[in-house]
Amino acid sequence: MARMKFLCDAERCIECNGCVTACKQEHDIPWGVNRRRVVTINDGVPGERSISVACMHCSDAPCMAVCPVDCFYKTEEGVVLHDKDLCIGCGYCFYACPFGAPQFPQTGAFGVRGKMDKCTFCAGGPEANNSEEEFRKYGRNRLAEGKLPACAEMCSTKALLGGDGDVLADIYRQRVTVRGRGGDVWGWATAYGQPGQAPAQAPAKGGKS
């Protein structure tokens, strides 16, 4: 059984925004809604790194926990989706989400009543698979076509991976093994030390093992 996840390799991401437009194009997403965006740290100086961020499809999703109308559900594959017919657009999920995933459109498609919109892992929503209804409210359902999210499939450097977490782990592990290090950001240095350096020192006594 698949457990869908995204993983963005900061050593590879070149902030080309291919994932952003792949998503917009695939789902016909209007101006002002960015289900996915690229975040850059240390822009323009050594240490510059980017990652592409969308809904992380949390296993214990805060949005689900706080939603006052319980419009969220999680599929068997671990994709967090919601019912726009039920959503009241309150934005509580926006508060709860640590990644800024929920989007609140202004006008036109996806947003007539300001309902929340977010990355669906290209899995549509609670309408018949690949129906017009589903496309109009949630975008394409690539999973039901046997395809993976457009952003990951089109990533220019194959930095962004999307699919079964187990498979992604294999792909990423191979890269890390070949290059001998991970992302060099996101705490890798803290956890393992810089390449060629000793890792951060473990507590002398009584630390967690």
Nearest approach in angstroms of CB 103 to another protein is 10
User: What is the distance between the alpha carbons of residues 23 and 38, in angstroms, rounded to a whole number?
Assistant: 12
Nearest approach in angstroms of CB 117 to another protein is 10
Alpha helices (H) in 79-147, listed in sequence order? 92-96, 132-138
Q: How far is CA 204 from CA 26, 132, 187, 191, in A?
A: 53, 61, 21, 16
Nearest 5°: phi and psi at 38? -105, 130
Are 13 and 175 in contact by the 8 Å Cβ rule? The answer is: no
Closer Cβ to another protein, 42 or 193, answer by number: 42
Closer Cβ to another protein, 52 or 97, answer by number: 52
Nearest approach in angstroms of CB 74 to another protein is 9
Nearest approach in angstroms of CB 201 to another protein is 28
Closer Cβ to another protein, 83 or 188, answer by number: 83
Closer Cβ to another protein, 83 or 192, answer by number: 83
